Amino acid sequence: MSSLTRRAFSFAIVTAALAGAPFAKAEDGPRTIEHRLGTTELSGKPTKVVALEFSFVQALDALGVVPAGIADDNQTKRIEQLLGKTIDYASVGTRLEPNLELISNLAPDLIIADEIRHSAIYQQLGSIAPTIVLNSWEGDYETIKTSVVTIADALGDKARGEQALAEHEARIAALVAHIPKGEKRRILLAVATPDSMSLHTSASFTGSVFKAMGLTPAIESSDAVESGAGLERLVSVAPDILLVATDPGGTVLDQWQDNAVWNAIPAVRNKMVFEVGRNQFSRFRGLKTAEMIAGEVLAKVYDAK
């Protein structure tokens, strides 16, 4: 999709949402939700929702729903960071192997699961409660945006999802307006691990957010992440703007900065290297995260507030 048609498309959504919202009739009758593993029948307005990935929690938050259960990897702090506030929910274990006993005990009326991680337990989830399966783990920006509407539809309030999306796009558009015309610099997010970096390409969530902002990701690829990249690879990618996502504590970044070759990277020469939080830039995905990424890029690269 070219950026022109995309803009036209989002404009259409905005007008549709603004025009349609006040008159939208209650959509809590029986409806069929299409998702990655087929279709699921739903009726009424689910209120006890279990979210098995971070992005779903953010989507639910945007729709004004507090999940009853979250597969939070037992890290309540991450959920706080994800939403920017504290919510009351029950942990149902890890995203990798959520505890089905606890989920069943919550007696939810909707479960939102991830295609990559939870395909194998789809049937069991389905016998606990209606389950929809979306792509979060390897989802790009467009996928995540579509998911918000799908989740809203599942909650019986599709219009609210479209409205949330429209508001989000308006906020992004306002941020993007600060970017000077004709920006040609190539931007890269590299995630620092203990001894190498993972380079996020145009197909990754962050990369597709950059693209939506009108920036050029330094690596154009259909694979989301290029992992195990050494210093030489980073030099040959030669990004003009480099965001390095780090966890607290030491990473390979400290070692690489001491190497003479580090200075051969254009971003280093132009003083366009910024350290960012790894949770926000590579673990979370969602509308709020996209806004946060856009905001931080503007603040750091363009000094815009």
Partner 1 sequence: MTDRARHPVLIAALCLLLLVGVLIAAVSFGASGLSIRHALWLLFFPDASPEAALVWDVRLPRAVLAMLVGANLAIAGVLIQTLTRNPLASPQTFGINAGASLAIVACLIAFPSLKGSGTVGPAFAGAAGVGLAMWALSVSRVMNELKLALAGVSIQLVLSALVQAILIANNAAQDIVYWLAGSLSAAQWPKVWLILPFSLIGGGLALAGARHFGVLALDQTTGLSLGQNARYTGGVAAMLVVVLAGSAVAVCGPIGFIGLLVPHVVRRLAGGDMAVVLVLSAIVGPLLLGTADLVGRIVVFPAEMPVGVVTALIGAPAFLAILYGRRAR
Partner 2 sequence: MKDTHEHHEDRRAFVVGGAMLLLLGLVSLFGIMIGAVNLSFSQVLEAFGGGKNAFIVTEYRLPRVAISILAGAAFGLAGVFLQGALRNPLASPDVVGITKWAGLGAFSAGLLAPPAWSAWAIPLGVMAGALIGAAALLAIGRRFGGSTTALALTGVALGMFAQALIQYAMVLFPSRADQSMVWLAGSVYGSTGADVAALSLWLLLCLPVVVIAAGRLDAGGFGDDTLTSIGLAPPWLRGGLIVVSVLLTGGAVAAVGSMGFLGLLAPHAARLLVGPRSRHLVPVSALLGALALSIADLAGRVVALPNEIPAGIVAAVIGGPYLVFLLSKEKSRHD
Summarize as ranges the residues that interact with partner 1 (CB under 8 A).
73, 94-96, 193-196, 198, 226-233, 235-236, 247-252, 254-255, 258-261, 263-264
263 binds, among partner 2, partner 1, none (CB under 5 to 8 A by kind): partner 1
Q: What are 200's two structure tokens?
A: 């996020």
Q: What are 254's two structure tokens?
A: 């400290």
Place of tokens 């995203």: 95
Contact residues toward partner 2 (CB under 8 A) are: 36-37, 74, 91-94, 96-97, 99-102, 104-105, 107, 115-117, 119-121, 123-124, 127-128, 137-138, 198, 224-225, 227-228
Toward partner 1, which CB reaches closer, 137 or 274?
A: 137
86 binds, among partner 1, partner 2, none (CB under 5 to 8 A by kind): none
119 binds, among partner 1, partner 2, none (CB under 5 to 8 A by kind): partner 2
Toward partner 1, which CB reaches closer, 38 or 230?
A: 230
Name which of 176, 178, 296, 180 is nearest 243 in CA terms.
296
Q: How far is the CB of 106 from partner 1 (least distance, A)?
A: 23
Please give the full DSSP string across 207-218, using - where no structure is assigned: HHHHHHTT-EES
Toward partner 1, which CB reaches closer, 80 or 232?
A: 232
Toward partner 2, which CB reaches closer, 98 or 217?
A: 98
Toward partner 1, which CB reaches closer, 42 or 237?
A: 237
For the chain, the straight-line distance linking the first and the last C-alpha, in angstroms and rounded, comes to 30
Rg (the chain; Cα; Å): 20
Place of tokens 């993972």: 198
Q: How far is the CB of 131 from partner 2 (least distance, A)?
A: 13
The Cα–Cα gap between 86 and 24 comes to 31
Give the orientation angle of helix 141-154 with respect to helix 287-301, to 10 degrees: 150
Q: Report which secondary-structure segment, H or E, holds 132.
A: strand 131-134
